[in-house]
Amino acid sequence: MGLDVIVIDHHLMEGEFPQALALVNPNRPDDVSGCGHMAAAGVTFILLAALNREGRRRNRFEGGQEPDLIAWSDLAALGTICDVVPLTGINRALVATGLKVMSQWKLPGLSELAKVAGIEGDATPYHAGFLIGPRINAGGRVGQADLGTRLLTRSEPDELQQVAGLLDRYNADRKSIEAEVLEGALAQLEGQAADRSVLIASGEGWHPGVIGVVAGRIKEKFGKPAIIIGIDRHAAPAIAKGSGRSVPGVNLGGAIVAARDAGLLLAGGGHEMAAGLSADPDRLTELSAFLDARLAPELSVAEGARSYEVDALLSAQAVDLELCERLSKLEPYGQGMPEPRFALSDMRISFAKRVGHDHVRVSLTSHDGTSLQAIAFRCAEEPLGEALLGASGGRWHVAGRLKTNTWQGRTSVQLQIEDLAAASS
């Protein structure tokens, strides 16, 4: 079309640059900024800041017309959180500022989406990453790809209400499709996960909009890199498209690039923790063997260094709303800046019950009779959930994160259990 094009990105890259007026990417080979941990949303925000600075230098903002970038930092924060990049350095500053702006709910689209998602009060990383982001993405994953843009750029109340409702519905559809693909992937991996360095599952017709999310679920369950591949036999020629998620210390993006250079992929790339690929469906066995061999040494080192780190040992009496208030002053938490983990020793599990689909609600009691409510999510059929449900009356060391829980106007503290071990007699 003869238009100048500026490309903004954050993924690892090599080889020829695209034919563009400018390529702004802190991960291009010649970049020395040290900002390779930024998400593209943050890179975009910094580019706009640079444009503002240049505009001031050229005296283009007479009469107070300089764009107020802080007012848009909520979107920079949203993208940074949803891209699961480390919340350190400039990312931390962007998210801390952006969540304060988001909490005002001035952007009409975000405000409407917060209503359908049931969000009240100040915005948190959880709201952005697990309630708002997935709904915006659901349009492109299983519905209409333009809905997210419409939500964030329009202001007509009736239209925004309609768009937010559609995104909420598509998000529910996405969860259903995701559950089906996850079930199929787990069935394929049953009995072989222990012997593999990279877990790869594939299926015909698996929706490309959910394979990345499923890869993340598989990675969390087994603690290994995972790639989920959807095969389209109706394409000419047939094609397999996959999305992968990795664990700390295992460079999945680099391995995908190596597989591409070895001729095993039609296309592929990404970064250390996530990658995408396109391949010939008939070469997936070769691809699996290649990635297994390449990443086995990295996974061995990563598993050897892996541990469950606890920040402090608490007594049940120390767990109260004041402690949670103090911990909240350290926010935002997220990738690279995890919430503090605490351990409580020698607790009796006086009550345990399965709730919801696969959660376990627990009552803990200390030696001095202090009680603490706790919950373990998505684990009822996992070893953690089975141990909790069968541990009534026993004494356990319990570890997890402290959260406030408001029910019927009353706010209390509960422990989100992540791990436990039997206390010695």
SS3 32: coil
- Rounded Cα gap, residues 224 and 269, in angstroms: 19
Q: Which residue has the tokens 């996992």?
A: 382
> DSSP labels for 244-301?
EE--TT--HHHHHHHHHHTTS-SEEEEETTEEEEEE-GGGHHHHHHHHHHHHHHHHHH
- Fold held by 193-305: Diaminopimelate Epimerase; Chain A, domain 1 (3.10.310)
The whole-number pLDDT of residue 65 equals 85
Which residue, among 332, 330, 273, 339, has the nearest Cα to 78 in the 3D structure?
332
Write down the domain spans for the chain. Answer: 6-173, 193-305, 312-422
User: Is residue 84 within 8 Å of residue 336, measured between CB atoms?
Assistant: no
User: Is residue 41 within 8 Å of residue 24, measured between CB atoms?
Assistant: no
- Decide: residue 135, CB within 10 A, 0-12 exposed, 13-18 middle, 19+ buried: buried
Q: Measure CA 341 to chain center.
A: 19
Q: Which CATH number fits domain 312-422: 3.90.1150.10, 2.160.20.10, 2.40.50.460, 3.40.190.10?
A: 2.40.50.460
Q: Which CATH number fits domain 6-173: 1.25.40.80, 3.90.1640.30, 3.30.70.1340, 2.40.128.120?
A: 3.90.1640.30
Length of the chain: 425
- Angle at the Cα of 36 from the Cα atoms of 10 and 196, rounded to 5 degrees: 80
Burial pattern 111-126, b for ≥16 Cβ within 10 A else e, equals ebbbbbbebeeebbbe
What residue ranges in 272-407 does DSSP mark as E strands? Answer: 274-279, 312-314, 342-355, 359-365, 371-376, 395-407
pLDDT tens for the chain, residues 1 to 425:
889 999 999 988 877 888 899 999 999 999 999 999 999 999 999 999 999 999 999 998 887 789 999 999 999 999 999 988 889 999 999 999 999 999 999 999 999 999 999 998 899 999 999 999 999 999 888 878 999 999 999 999 999 999 999 999 999 999 999 999 999 999 999 888 788 999 999 999 999 889 999 999 999 889 899 999 999 998 889 999 999 999 988 999 999 999 999 999 999 988 888 899 999 999 999 999 999 999 999 999 888 767 778 999 999 999 999 999 999 888 898 888 889 999 999 999 988 999 988 899 999 999 899 999 999 998 888 888 999 998 766 789 999 999 988 777 788 899 999 999 888 75
Query: First vs last Cα of the chain: how many Å apart?
Result: 76
pTM: 0.79
The whole-number pLDDT of residue 124 equals 92
Which residue, among 118, 149, 155, 119, has the nearest Cα to 136 in the 3D structure?
149
- Angle at the Cα of 256 from the Cα atoms of 242 and 227, rounded to 5 degrees: 35
The whole-number pLDDT of residue 425 equals 54
